Structure 1
Amino acid sequence: MTFLHFLPAPKLEMYLRVYVNRCFRMVSPITWLWAMLSIMVAVTCTFSFFQPFWFLHPDFTHSFGMMNFCHRDTYYPGPPRPTCRNYGGYFQFGNIPSAAWQVAAMLFGCGCLFSNIGALMAVLALLTPTSTEHKIATACGYLQSISVLIMTAGLLVYPVGLPSDFFQHYCGESVGIYRSGHCHIGWSYMLAIMGVCLAVFCPILSRHTDVKADDIATSPDYI
């Protein structure tokens, strides 16, 4: 047991408040920026990964994602509306209609996983305002670099699978590698590209988390 266990509640609360305030004053503003960017990137990429709007049909009823797609709800008697489900009706990599899409889903999904782990490590670095903070940031920077590389690979591999019979059935015979026929790129794909572009800055910022506010104000390298 520590001496904190013998302190009255008001005094214990005062000590904790002083400790927390001192900790957060010690955290570099670059660490804050890196942590917030890491969280935003993880949320953006993960959200786009599970969306079925990577490519859109001109009728806006059919759309295609990495693991799921939307098609017209034939049971709805009113105006055409989409219903979305996993390829094959339930989640299984073998149900994804193209080998390239399977590879792309594996790459981008692993990148999202690493990105989420990196975001958790960035939050941990915020709560560890000691010499350990920079070690966590360094390790996290390497993890985020790997995440950027494999998510980029996933984005590049995904259009290779466009000539599949499944996609060609909906988007025409003019479909080819990096050619989507009369379908067009959807907002989920654009959001994923934006998230990966922002993710590039995470490992860069992680290398400068030991820079304090006073260093930024006084050093000519940061002016």
Structure 2
Amino acid sequence: MVGSVWVTLGLSLTCTSALSLLSPAWFQTPTFSFGVLSYCSWPWGDHWNQSCGVFRSLDDIPDLSWKVSAGLLLGGWLLVAVHAILLLSWVLAPKELWPRRSSGKMQGVQAAAAITTVMGLLAFPLGLASPFAKEACGASSVYRSGQCQLGWGYVTAILNAVLVSILPVIRWPRTTKVQGRTVHFSSDTEKIILMPEVSK
């Protein structure tokens, strides 16, 4: 049951991370919006008539910091996806295949995904000083969006980064057999030490 919850969380984080990464709505004006990998424009007041484009390669991305951000965010997304696939395989595989199901490596992958994603999110606003962003947002500069407003894509990416950062703190419940009874541990701070009786 617990494994199914972790798999569901991992897969949903992977999907929402991909959605925010592909979204063109990281920064937007009334007629234009752009994200890490795509951008859209539309006539004033007519959101249904959008014309969108995609940065097909790193060379198309307008600024070096933007390229670094795209690489970090893609790397973070891949780590989140690997984490979800590992969770799924551990839940579905028989226990005989992996008798020692340790969560330490899983948390390491998730922590690396969180760090990479946060670094990518911090690097992206540096690209607001690029000519592309200045043309879209007016007087934009590093960490100043000018006439652009924060869009739902960037906010979703931030929320995903927060969730990915918090989840490694929450440990898989560990189970240990002690004298025929099952004892559940919820964190590293709760330990039971069994000492043999010493006769005097």
TM over 0.5: yes
Q: Deviations over 1:129-180 (max 9, x none)?
A: 537365453322211111110000000000011011111012112x111100
List alignment gaps of at least 5 residues for structure 2. 177-181, 191-200
Q: Percent of counterpart pairs with the same letter?
A: 28
Alignment match, 1:101: 66
- The answer to whether the Cα contact below 8 Å between 1:34 and 1:202 also exists between their aligned partners in 2 is no
Q: Deviations over 1:159-207 (max 9, x none)?
A: 011011111012112x1111000111100000011111111233233x4
For the structure 1 residues 180 and 40, does the alpha-carbon distance in structure 2 shift closer, same or farther, using more than 3 Å as the test?
same
RCO higher in structure (CA 8 A, sep ≥6): 1
CA RMSD across the alignment:
2.9
Would you identify which runs of 4 or more consecutive aligned residues in structure 1 move more than 4 Å? 214-217
SS at match of 1:32: helix
Instruction: Work out the CA distance in 2 between the residues paired with 1:66 and 1:187.
Output: 13
For the structure 1 residues 106 and 133, does the alpha-carbon distance in structure 2 shift closer, same or farther, using more than 3 Å as the test?
farther
- The answer to whether the Cα contact below 8 Å between 1:54 and 1:65 also exists between their aligned partners in 2 is yes
Aligned partner of 2:27 among 52, 55, 68? 55
Pairing 1:166–2:166 present: no
Alignment match, 1:3: none
For the structure 1 residues 172 and 166, does the alpha-carbon distance in structure 2 shift closer, same or farther, using more than 3 Å as the test?
same
Pairing 1:151–2:123 present: no
Q: How many residues align?
A: 183
Alignment match, 1:84: 52
List alignment gaps of at least 5 residues for structure 1. 1-26
TM-score under structure 2 length normalisation: 0.80
Which structure shows the bigger proportion of residues in helix conformation? 1
Which structure shows the bigger proportion of residues in strand conformation? 2
TM-score under structure 1 length normalisation: 0.72
